[in-house]
Amino acid sequence: MQRITPATLKSWIGDGAELAILDAREDGEFGRSHLFWANPCGLSRAEQRARAILPRPGTRIACVDGGEGGLAERLAVYLEGIGCTDVSVMEGGTPAWAAAGYVLFSGVNVPSKAFGEWVEHHYHTPSIDPAELQAMRASGEPMVILDSRPMDEFRRMSIPGAIDVPGGELVYRIGEIAPDPATTIVVNCAGRTRSIMGAESLRSAGLPNKVVALRNGTMGWELAGFACETGRTDSYPAGTPGSLPTALARATDFAARAGVRSLDRAGLPGLLADTSRTTYLLDVRDPAEYAAGHLPGSRSAPGGQLVQATDQWVAVRGARIVLVDDTGVRARMTGGWLRQLGQWEVHVLEDGLAGPLETGPWRPACPEADAIRPEAVTPAELAGLLDEGGARVVQLSRSIDFREAHIPGALWGVRTRLSALAPRLAGDRPVVVAAPDEATARLAIPELQALVAAPVRLLAGGLAAWREAGLPLAANRRTPEDADCIDTYLRPYDRNEGVEAAMHEYLSWEIDLVHEVARDGDARFGQV
């Protein structure tokens, strides 16, 4: 690997060639301070993430960290070990970047969130505050409130009367939801950017209705003294909308203005085989549709979330992105925004679901985990051992997920911090590793075995199998207190104290992103 200065990396960002900036820290650490175009690739999940976000081994890669020493180097060594051929380490990490006079950003999904704020300024997206919405509801004005988040977020809290329509579905479904042009459409999310992007998608697609974003989303609603609802699952009608021809015409026009290209099936193999360019193959439909049948080799990336959190799927600046769906509407709307966000070369695959399909959810390739064959225990066997005091459990869930649901008595852990657990695992009682997926647990087993004398085993089927067996899960929002948020960047709703202050801080942070991006100078939003 070579070592580069911050000035060199800064010049690479603007030179137009392919570039991936990977940050080796855990997500919580990354969220405190990072480069604008950096992608989180924490060492605890590098084996499962790197191949997915780096489809081409020859991509130019710069590894960074927070200046702790060694993390970026360890990631670079791993990447070279899996065949990456152009890997560099930026010396000095984020402190050196700041010392060179360059801007650092806090938060997660920063390019996408900053883009949402730019869209509001550029397109003059109209918005209303919670009091205005409440007055509209009370007046009986014909209107619909559409929550542009995924269902799991909607279920946790929603505006009274809203229905869940994730952002990538809005233009596709709106003809069935609001066929009358006299109906006012209000789009909301938890904060700002998905509200803005959802409302502007409908406006930019030429919808004749009055469309507005709810200013500051559910956070603004609660800060204004109104109550959210929980547990609701109201959503759009399933199936292909009868208004598809109108939706497709709208989406086609929007995509054409942004420079989105069409690609037939005959042209796809050539793009995927081109070793001079990186090509991502992403299916923008709902995850359930993807699981029911998808193009082999494609990855599930629901359109609204892909635009909202692009850095979770696409790490390479200057790459090609091929989008797949069934009718072309969702792919075209998603592609139009991706072009404006990051100037990627975006193609919509025509007839992308014709021919043989694969089923099931997307799983990252992880040969390192596949090669580990640990002794396993079933959920029933583990429950019996725990009843007898005959085992200890290490659970590798995200800390915020652990506090919501963990095996009773389990210790929380992150793979890069397992040594901190060793004193609590002394003795000869077997240690069982549980995780949301088996791959994460398998990777941790030899690492943990090197730290403890007792045998280390795998919970077969992971936490999903434990739940399916009907075995108990504990919850405690106060655990794990020693997490120090290293693995997760907490949202306001995730906090135990100071939620209201955190909401105000978060909303101010989103609004200020436009100014910070201008100061940084590395985003070229809208330049298609």
Q: pLDDT (tens digit, 9 = 90+) per residue, 161-197? A: 999 999 999 999 999 999 999 999 999 999 999 999 9
What is the pLDDT at residue 469? 97
The single-letter DSSP state of residue 510 is H
Between CA 162 and CA 203 the distance in angstroms is: 19
Q: Give CA–CA dist 243/453, Å, rounded.
A: 64
CA distance 324 to 278: 17
Predicted local distance difference test score (pLDDT) of residue 381: 98
Distance from C-alpha of 222 to C-alpha of 138, rounded to nearest angstrom: 18
Predicted confidence (pLDDT) per residue in 208-254, tens digit: 999 999 999 999 999 999 999 999 999 999 999 999 999 999 999 99
pLDDT digits (tens, 9 = 90+) for 71-86: 999 999 999 999 999 9
- DSSP of 89-135: EETTHHHHHHHTT---B-SSSHHHHHHHHHHHHHHT--EE-HHHHHH
Fold (CATH) for 248-349: Oxidized Rhodanese; domain 1 (3.40.250)
Cα–Cα dist 141/160, whole Å: 15
Q: 3-class SS at 87?
A: strand
Which pLDDT score, from 0 to 100, does residue 496 have? Answer: 85
Q: What is the pLDDT of residues 119-139, one digit of tens each?
A: 999 999 999 999 999 999 999
Beta-carbon-side half-sphere exposure of residue 374 (alpha carbons within 13 Å)? 29
3-state secondary structure of 257: helix
Homologous superfamily (CATH) of 114-238 is Rhodanese-like domain (3.40.250.10)
* Degrees, nearest 5: CA angle 276-279-281: 160
108 in the Ramachandran plot: left (φ > 0), alpha (ψ -120 to 50) or beta?
A: beta
How do beta strands 211-214 and 184-188 pair?
parallel
Euclidean distance between CA atoms 423 and 307, whole angstroms:
44
Dist. CA 214–CA 195, nearest whole Å: 6
pLDDT at 484: 63
Contact 88, 61 (CB under 8 A): yes
The model carries a pTM of 0.96
Phi-psi bin for 339: left (phi > 0), alpha (psi -120 to 50), beta?
alpha
For the chain, how long is the longest CA-to-CA vector? Answer: 71
For the chain, which residues make up each domain, given as ranges? 2-106, 114-238, 248-349, 367-483
- Say if residues 433 and 456 touch (Cβ distance below 8 Å): yes
CB 239 within 8 A of CB 317: no
Does 2-106 match 367-483 in CATH topology? Answer: yes
Considering the four listed CATH numbers 3.50.50.60, 3.40.250.10, 3.40.1550.10, 3.40.50.2000, the one that applies to the domain covering 367-483 is: 3.40.250.10
Length of the chain counted residue by residue: 528
Superfamily of domain 2-106, CATH level 4: Rhodanese-like domain (3.40.250.10)
